[in-house]
Chains A and B, each alone.
Chain A
Amino acid sequence: MSFARRKKDLARPVDIIGVGASQLGMVCDTPGMLNMTTRELWSWAASEALNDAGISATEVEALFVGNMIGEHTEGQYHLPYVLAQWTGLGLGQESWRSAVRVEAACASSSQAIRQAVFAVASGAYDVVIAGGVEVNNAKWTWRNPGHPEKMSNLDRVQAIYGHYDQGWEMPQSAMLDHILSQWLIAYAKRYGLSQSELQDAMDARLVSNCANGERNPKAYWNRSLEEVAAEAGFKAVSDFLRSPKYNPTTCWPVRRWDAPRRCDGAAAAIICASDLTHCFSGRPIHYLGTGNIMQTSGLSDDMWTQPFIVKSGQEAFDMAGVSPEDIDLVEMYDYGPAEYIIPLEDLGVFQRGETAKALSTGRTLFSGDKPVNCSGGTSCGVAVGAIGAYCLFHLVKQLRGEAGGCRSASGSRTGLIYDCGAGRDAVIHILGG
C-alpha cells in the first residue's frame, strides 16, 4: 500500500497575539536576573506575553514549553506542571490544564511552538501559551532551592553534549564545532574565497550582529565592538578580531568571538485561532507556515549546502504560500558563522555565494534592505532551549513596528525564523503582519 503525498497545510489559520521575553543574561551575574531559576524567568516571559495579548492566564487552555538541559541544571523532570503554577495557570482542585515539555536541543522552543500551533490549528485548543526557558550556566538542587551556582565549564559542556548520539557521535568524537568548520571551508572553496576573505565574511557577521544587538535592550551582550577593540588597544575592529590574543582560534577557521554567547533566559508567545483574535486586544501576527527536517549528522557530499535546510525551507514556503523573495527580514539561531551563511543561502534569502557581499554592504543591518538578526543573534546572547521563542518574540515586535531602537527600516511585512537543533534539526517559521 502507498499513497500520494499531499500539500501540507494548517487545518485552520493561527495567529500570534502576544509575545514576551525575559532579559537575556546570567542568573549568577546579571543585575535584574540574580538568583533566578527557570521558574522566575518563565514567569517573566509568560506574564509579558499574557499582558501583550490582553488575555488572562485563566483563559489559556494549554502550555507547551521547550527546555533542553533542565535535568542537569535543576535536577527537574516534569517541568511543565511546575511552570504552569508559575504562569498563573493554577493546576489543582479548580483548574485543569494540559501542559507538556518539548526537548529538541537548541530547537526545543521552536518545536514547542510548532506543536502548539498544530494543537490550535487542529481545533483541539483555541488559545495556548508556548515558548522556552533555559538556565544554561548555573545549577542548583532541592538541597538549596533558588540558589543557583555557576557551573564549571566542563559541567556545562557535559550537560550540553547530551545532544550527541551517545552510541556513536560521542565515542567517535564527531563534534559539531568541527563539522560546522567543514561547512565553512567547503563554502569558501566552492566560491573561491581565500582564507582571508573567509575571515572577512566571519568578521562582517560579528560586526553586523553586534551593531544590531547594541540596540536590543533584552540582549545579554550589547556593547559596541569598537569600544571593546579600543579598550584592548586596537584602532580597527578587524585588527581586534584577527588578534590571536583576544580572539584565539577554537576550531579553525572559527574563533572564540564567533561562538554563540551562551546565557540564561525565557521567551513565550500566546497562540490563538485566527477567528478568535478579535476577543483579545493584542495585535495579531499571522503564523503562515512552518517546515522541519531532521537529518542525522549535518554531513553531506557538498557541505556548502545542507539538503535538510533546503527542504525545511521548501516545506515552510509551500505551506505559507510565499517565496524567498517575499521575506523582508530574518531572525535566526546562528550557531556561529557557518549557521549564518549556509542557511541564509539554502533558504534563498541571499543568492548563492552572495552572503559575504550582503554583509559587507550593510544589507543585514537593521537599517539594511534585508535585515538579519535585528536582535543581535547569538553574538548577543543565546539561551539554548528558548532561542526559537526569542526569535519569535523579536520578529513579532518587528512586524508590528514595535521593536524600538532595533526596528528594521525595511517596512517589514513578512519574516522568517531559522532555528536548528544541533546542526541537524532545522525548524522554520514564517510570519506575516
Chain B
Amino acid sequence: MEAVLHDFYEHLKLGEILGQKCEDCGAVTFPPRNLCARCGSSKTRWVKMSGKGRLLYASAGVHLMTGIPFVLGTVRLDEGPLVPAVLLEDDFDFSRPEAVWDLNATNSLVQAEVVQSLSGEGVLVAFRRVRNS
C-alpha cells in the first residue's frame, strides 16, 4: 500500500493532478484512493488527470471559516468522477449572488487549475470555464 494522500498532495503542490486508474475494471478514482472506487480492486496505478470536465452546477456564498465569498462548482470530469471544486470566476459580483443562476445547467467546458486554498494553507484543485466553449 502507498501513502496515497501524501503523494497526491505532494504532486498537487507541483501543479500535477493525479488520479488512480484500476487495472481490473478501468475506472478512474478521483480524488485518488488506494482501492478502486468502483470495484474495490487494489490493482490501481497513478494516472495524470486531463483536468478537463463539464460544469453541472454552481453556487455562490461565503466560506464560514474564512469569511471569503466564493463560487463552488460541481464538475463531471472527462475521466468520469464527479467532484466539488472552487470555480474561478474573476468577474463574479458577490453583491449580486443570484447571477450564479446562469452558471447552472450550462454544461460549460472547464479546465482545472491548481491554486492556493481559500485559507492560504496548501493548494486545491479549482476549475475555470473555457471561453467560447
Q: Which residue of B lies closest to A158 (CB)?
A: B65
Chain B residues within 8 Å of A173, by CB = 63, 70, 72, 86, 117-118, 124
Contact A303 B117 (CB under 8 A): no
Chain B residues within 8 Å of A185, by CB = 57, 59, 100-101, 104
Chain A residues within 8 Å of B27, by CB = none
Sample of 5 further A-B pairs with CB below 8 A, known A173-B86, A249-B61, A253-B98: A168-B31, A178-B59, A179-B84, A250-B62, A299-B84
- Cβ-defined partner of B61 (8 Å) among A167, A177, A186: A177
Contacts A189-B104, A189-B105, A195-B98 given; indicate if A181 touches B56 (C-beta within 8 A). no
**B97 located at the interface, meaning its Cβ lies under 8 Å from any Cβ of chain A in the complex:** yes
Shortest 4 CB-CB distances between A and B: which pairs?
A: A251-B61, A174-B84, A252-B97, A178-B72
Q: Which residue of A lies closest to B56 (CB)?
A: A301
Q: Which residue of B lies closest to A184 (CB)?
A: B59
Expressed in whole angstroms, the minimum distance between the Cβ of B70 and any Cβ of chain A is: 7
Which residue of B56, B59, B86 has the most chain A CB atoms within 10 A of its CB atom?
Answer: B59
Binary A-proximity of B108-130 (CB < 8 A = 1, otherwise 0): 00000000011000111100000
In the complex, A250 Cα to B70 Cα: how many Å?
Answer: 11
Contact A181 B61 (CB under 8 A): yes
Contact A157 B117 (CB under 8 A): no
Chain B residues within 8 Å of A182, by CB = 57-59, 72, 74, 104
Contact A172 B82 (CB under 8 A): no
Could you jot down 11 A-B contacts, CB within 8 Å?
A158-B65, A168-B31, A173-B72, A173-B86, A177-B61, A177-B64, A182-B58, A195-B101, A300-B82, A301-B56, A303-B74
**A169 located at the interface, meaning its Cβ lies under 8 Å from any Cβ of chain B in the complex:** yes
Binary A-proximity of B79-100 (CB < 8 A = 1, otherwise 0): 0001111100000000001101
**A175 located at the interface, meaning its Cβ lies under 8 Å from any Cβ of chain B in the complex:** yes
- Cβ-defined partner of A249 (8 Å) among B58, B84, B86, B97: B97
Q: Which residues of A are interface residues toward B (Cβ below 8 A)?
A: 154, 157-158, 161, 167-169, 171-175, 177-179, 181-182, 185-186, 189, 195, 249-254, 297, 299-301, 303
Which residue of B74, B76, B100, B124 has the most chain A CB atoms within 10 A of its CB atom?
Answer: B74
In the complex, A179 Cα to B125 Cα: how many Å?
Answer: 17
Binary A-proximity of B10-30 (CB < 8 A = 1, otherwise 0): 000000000000000000000
Total interface residues in chain B, CB < 8 Å: 33
Contacts A185-B104, A251-B62 given; indicate if A171 touches B117 (C-beta within 8 A). yes
Contacts A175-B72, A195-B101, A303-B74 given; indicate if A169 touches B84 (C-beta within 8 A). yes
Expressed in whole angstroms, the minimum distance between the Cβ of B23 and any Cβ of chain A is: 21
Chain B residues within 8 Å of A175, by CB = 61, 63-64, 72
Chain B residues within 8 Å of A253, by CB = 98
**B47 located at the interface, meaning its Cβ lies under 8 Å from any Cβ of chain A in the complex:** no
Chain B residues within 8 Å of A189, by CB = 104-105
In the complex, A177 Cα to B69 Cα: how many Å?
Answer: 12
Chain A residues within 8 Å of B36, by CB = none
In the complex, A253 Cα to B99 Cα: how many Å?
Answer: 10
Chain A residues within 8 Å of B65, by CB = 154, 157-158, 161
Contact A179 B124 (CB under 8 A): no
Q: Which residue of A lies closest to B66 (CB)?
A: A173
Contact A252 B5 (CB under 8 A): no
Q: Which residue of A lies closest to B100 (CB)?
A: A252
Q: Which residue of A lies closest to B121 (CB)?
A: A171
Chain A residues within 8 Å of B72, by CB = 173-175, 178-179, 182
Q: Which residue of A lies closest to B30 (CB)?
A: A168
In the complex, A219 Cα to B6 Cα: how many Å?
Answer: 46
Expressed in whole angstroms, the minimum distance between the Cβ of B13 and any Cβ of chain A is: 12
In the complex, A332 Cα to B5 Cα: how many Å?
Answer: 36
Q: Which residue of B lies closest to A297 (CB)?
A: B84
CB within 8 Å of A: which of B20-78? 31, 56-65, 70, 72, 74, 76
Contact B124 A172 (CB under 8 A): yes
Chain B residues within 8 Å of A186, by CB = 57, 104-105
In the complex, A253 Cα to B60 Cα: how many Å?
Answer: 9
Chain B residues within 8 Å of A181, by CB = 59, 61
In the complex, A245 Cα to B82 Cα: how many Å?
Answer: 37
In the complex, A182 Cα to B103 Cα: how many Å?
Answer: 11
Expressed in whole angstroms, the minimum distance between the Cβ of A2 and any Cβ of chain B is: 13
